[in-house]
Structure 1
Amino acid sequence: MGAAPVWSVDPRTGKAREQVAVEATADEVDRAVRAAEAARPALADRTVRAALLRAAADLLDAAGEQVVEAADAETALGPTRLTGELARTTAQLRAFAEVVDDGAFLDIRIDHADADRTPPWPDLRRWKIPLGVVAVYSASNFPLAFSVPGGDTASALAAGCPVVIKAHPDHPATSELCAALLRKAAQQAGLPETVVALVHGFDAGVELVRHPLVAAAGFTGSVRGGRALFDAAAARPVPIPFHGELGSLNPVVITEAAADEGARTLGAGLAGSMTLGSGQFCTKPGLVLAPAGDAGDRLLTSLAAAVSESEPGVMLDHRMRDAFVAGVAERAALDGVEAPVTPGAGGEHTVNAGFLTVPARRLTAEGPHDLLLEECFGPVTVVARYETRDEIDAVLSRLPGNLTATLHAAADDPEAPGLLAALTPLAGRVLVGGWPTGVAVAPAQHHGGPYPATTSASTSVGATAIERWLRPVTYQSAPPALLPPELRDDNPLGLPRMVDGRPEPLAR
């Protein structure tokens, strides 16, 4: 019996487009991982790694029209959105090339021997080295930026780790195209193309996380799938780091003063954020705490008007569509829940955006309304209307971890300091004003948060995402001739370092 075929499916019609691959067998996963492991030494040269990342960005840009067309055919996200996502993807590849060039990520620290200390210090020299082969699990909702050429792949290659990528079944043709471009970039940089491998199939993903030569994994997807892989990673004879982004409610708190000042603007902004990409962003605001009085009424009127104007959307696949329709129906049936704009099925292949309202007091204690505190993937949000500050605090105290938390407060709002303090433990990125959809690829960015938002304290966006694929090593009392150039006193590579507790001046 042959391997199962992998089909590219058009989510706008639900019909198969073409067979693009077959699911990888356990033997094929093993060969891919072993080939990646064999290619590790070739990635040791930082100059070559930087060249690989820049070549990948250039090739993706050159094939941009083809990449966007393939991704749109499989995701229905639209050329405008996907063109922007491609630009973000190539920008982060180039950004990690700059990180590699700079070398600060090596976190080099040298403490010379000091016999006058009590007890005496030996000579100690510390830096970070790559972990090894990294398994990357592609996301459904970002076929480029969080998939084959995305941040996990870019940061792992930047760290010096080969990658074996498990393609997402929603965009296999896009995955094959991007993987081919990455392999071509490797060849251009003088590297074996096996530094990047692609496998398909659910069983292949399980085999991958269990493979003894896989040293770490990065995942973006559902709580259920991510937790299963996380548990598998932890259950190995040698457990490995599993950096999973799983799910997030992304709470928003709007003070009464903020609603009074800008109800119309807030309603329109919320509508734009929750419907963006048919509500399929990991940072979609899924729970909003808004006041119950007149200002809150005006905010909801604005929200209803804006959401009602949104067009029916196509979700990434029909399984997600069915889950969304069932999920919003179950939530809408709860006692006290109302739907000013009803979310759910649109046409045969589309969904309608909408939102639900509920008194916040129903969320302050355990009960059937806890369902409203779980992420519902798609264009819907829940507006919980509070009467008192105590209700806000009670609801926030019951929330799980999140990628983001947002506060809308008026200028000099007396509630702002306390609410900001209450939101900070809940998320990895806390916004004051604005909306959480949109994650800047910047050095100071943090895209992560307490479980179940992520399974670790790391970020998957920004320069520090490289830290996930490194581990520190200290050499003690090593003769200079045995030290790598990065740790020698003369600093022949001109890298930023801490020496005897102070930044070392770099030669000009």
Structure 2
Amino acid sequence: MIAPSTQVDIAEVMERSGKAFADYKKLSPQKRADFLLAIAAHIEDAREELILLAQEETNLPQGRLNNEITRTTTQLKMFASLLQEGSWVEATIDTDIDGSVPAKPDTRKILLPTGPVIVFGASNFPFAFSTAGGDTASALAAGCPVVVKGHSAHAQTSLRVFKAIEAAIAQVQVPAYTVQHVMGPGSAVGKQLVMHPAAKGVGFTGSYNGGTALVEYARQRSIPIPVFAEMSSINPVVFYPDTLAKNATNLATTFAASITLGMGQFCTNPGLLIGIEGSAFEGFLELLAAAIKEVLPQKMLHTSIHTAYETGLKKILSLEGIRELGRSCKEAAVLEGTPVVAMVQAKDFLANEHFTEEVFGPFSLAVSCRDKEELQQVLKSLKGQLTSTIVATPEDIRAFEDVIELQHNLAGRIILNNAPTGVEVCASMVHGGPFPATTDERFTSVGTSAIKRWVRPVCFQNFLDEMLPAALQNSNPLGILRLVNNQYTRDAIVKVPSP
């Protein structure tokens, strides 16, 4: 099921995916859950081999890769549990129970899968956001087949994960071609995949240019499809005065570690540090700069990311008004990223939109504001983000309530007194945000709600019971929680006369 990247082969891949959808969407929730659990088990069996492959291809350390594999299998198990519980389909039933004249029609609503999904592997997460990552797991849970576009930065790792998926397909006996894997140049192969009529949705984690290109391909189709792309975020952190006066040393240590975690190659890296000028903020920045100087350069994921970081760093440090505060004390070797923190006055920041551009790597820019009003101006100038962090004491929260409210409008995840790096895999997580953080701020790519990207609501009116999806039938054979005549129940409803 591994296909080359010629135009003819892509057409065949998509046609197979369309045919697989007709059968895969009919599988019971338990069968789909079994499939996800089998994928997780086969990945677990290949853990050691996968770590060795990924180390060779990505320069990531064993500990990080080991944790990421665990996160990947956890996601698969989480969606299996969601399928087994069942209420995510939002089964809703309205019957004519009050004898109204004319009689109300029998209407029943459920979420149904949309069709084949294209998943683009991310360069910075060879497991959790790639071949069997969250996009793939959520799409398969929804009932959608998947075509994975493997990332060239970890091609062999991607293919080995796909081999685990193939083993699960055979073990559970789900339809052939439920998951397929292709390689090749992203610009060419990606366009063919997205523009094929069988494709019904796209999952992407990567650069702004890559994400917006996929959106444009989708718009060029005779029938546009949604592209759920996570693209760009500088994740502003606001340090309020009272907490800086009391906790500067601990905060400097915490955020130096967050800025340089994984050499800054996380989409939630705290790239913008904002505060009000004065001895507290200046003292914090001195401590932060000192901590950054002690962080040694490390290899970045691959040449393209390293080159982009060096180019972006050089560009932002050349802008008028910026001042470098601290840089790693050790000179970087080949492919190594150099940790750097710099500062700019708010008036200069507001005058040049280039200061808001993401520098993907171990870099963060501090913005010093004259007062509360200028702090508000800075926040209002920012575009959409994945995260917005509040670092504050209770006294700060009371004094800056109106400013904190502005932070709520910026991002999908609002954080109090924690660094933004680290995304918990759970039902309440939102990993998304207003543009350009993502292309659709209503959705998340992490957590159980990620499944909502690949489904659509369908209403069945006056249907015979045996014609309905199982979750809407009177007998409630799946035993899931349903909203029946405005009341939640797991019991069978009174059978209405057939039309």
Q: Same fold (TM over 0.5)?
A: yes
Corresponding position of 1:338: 323
Distance (Å, rounded) in 2 between the aligned partners of 1:396 and 1:374: 14
Aligned partners of 1:246 and 1:99: how far apart in 2? Answer: 27
1:73-152 counterparts in 2 under 5 A? Answer: 73-113=56-96, 116=99, 121-152=104-135
After superposition, what is the alpha-carbon deviation per residue over 1:141-162, rounded to whole angstroms, capped at 9, x for unaligned? 1110000010000000000111
Q: In structure 2, what is the Cα distance between the partners aligned to 1:415 and 1:137?
A: 44
Return the alpha-carbon distance in structure 2 between the equivalents of residues 340 and 285 of structure 1. Answer: 16
Question: Which residue does 2:497 correspond to in 1?
Answer: none
- TM superposition shift of 1:136: 0.3
TM-score by length of 2: 0.94
Alignment of 1:24 with 2:8, yes or no, is: no
The offset of 1:349, in angstroms, is: 2.2
The equivalent residue for 2:378 is: 395
Shift of 1:322: 1.6
**Backbone CA RMSD of aligned residues:** 1.7
Report what 2:42 is aligned to: 59
Structure 1 residue 258: Cα displacement: 1.3
Closer, same or farther: CA 257–209 of 1 in aligned 2, 3 Å: same
Deviations 1:49-101 (A, max 9, x none): 10110011111111111111111111111101111111000001000000111
Pick which of 286-295 and 389-398 moved more: 286-295
2:266 aligned counterpart, secondary structure: coil
Q: Structure 2: where are the runs of 5+ without partners?
A: 493-499
Q: Which residue of structure 2 aligns with residue 9 of structure 1?
A: none
Give, in whole Å, the separation in 1 of the partners of 2:491 and 2:404: 40
What number of residue pairs does the alignment pair up?
484
Gaps of 5+ in 1: 1-20
Q: CA deviation at 1:298?
A: 1.8
> 2:291: which partner in 1?
306
Cross-structure match for 1:280: 265
Q: Work out whether residues 179 and 198 of structure 1, in 8 Å CA contact, stay in contact via their aligned partners in 2.
A: yes
Aligned equivalent of 2:415, options 428, 431, 435 = 431
Task: Describe how 1:237-276 pairs up with structure 2 within 5 A.
Answer: 237-276=222-261
Match of 1:360 among 326, 340, 346: 346
CA distance, structure 2, for counterparts of residue 313 and residue 481 of structure 1: 61
Distance 1:419 1:119 in 2: 54
1 CA distance for matches of 2:164 and 2:278? 56
The verdict on how the C-alpha distance between 1:332 and 1:424 changes in structure 2, with shifts beyond 3 A counting, is same
Q: Which moved more, 1:428-437 or 1:318-327?
A: 318-327
- 1:345 offset after TM fit, Å? 7.2
Following superposition, the deviation at residue 485 of structure 1 comes to: 2.4
CA contact (8 A) 1:23 1:204 kept: no
Runs of 4 or more above 3 Å deviation:
114-120, 342-345
- The SS at the match of 1:431 is strand
Q: Does 1:482 align with 2:467?
A: yes
User: 1:376 matched to which residue of 2?
Assistant: 359
> Counterpart in 1 of 2:170?
187
Give the equivalent residue in structure 1 for 2:431.
Answer: 447
In 2 relative to 1, CA 118–438 (structure 1 residues): closer, same or farther, beyond 3 Å?
farther
2:195 to 204, 210, 215: 210
Q: Determine if contact 2:292/2:327 at 8 Å carries over to the other structure.
A: no
The code of the aligned residue for 2:208 comes to V
Shift of 1:119: 7.2
Is the CA contact 2:24–2:144 (under 8 Å) kept in the aligned structure 1? no
SS in 2 for 1:404: strand
Contact residue 254 and residue 409 of structure 1 kept, 8 A: yes
Output the CA distance in 2 between the equivalents of 1:159 and 1:476: 23
Query: Residues 244 and 80 of structure 1: is their aligned pair in 2 closer, same or farther, counting only changes over 3 Å?
Result: same
Do 1:325 and 1:345's aligned partners in 2 also have CA atoms closer than 8 Å? Answer: no
Match of 1:503 in 2: 488
> Alignment partner of 1:214: what SS?
coil
1:43 deviates by 4.4
Deviation at 1:297, TM superposition (A): 2.0
Amino acid at match of 1:212: P
| Contact 1:39 1:162 (C-alpha < 8 Å) held by counterparts | yes
Q: Tell me which amino acid in the other structure corresponds to 1:34.
A: E
Residue 42 (1) aligns with residue 24 (2): yes
Bigger mean CA deviation after superposition, 120-129 or 35-44: 35-44
TM-score (structure 1 length as normaliser)? 0.92
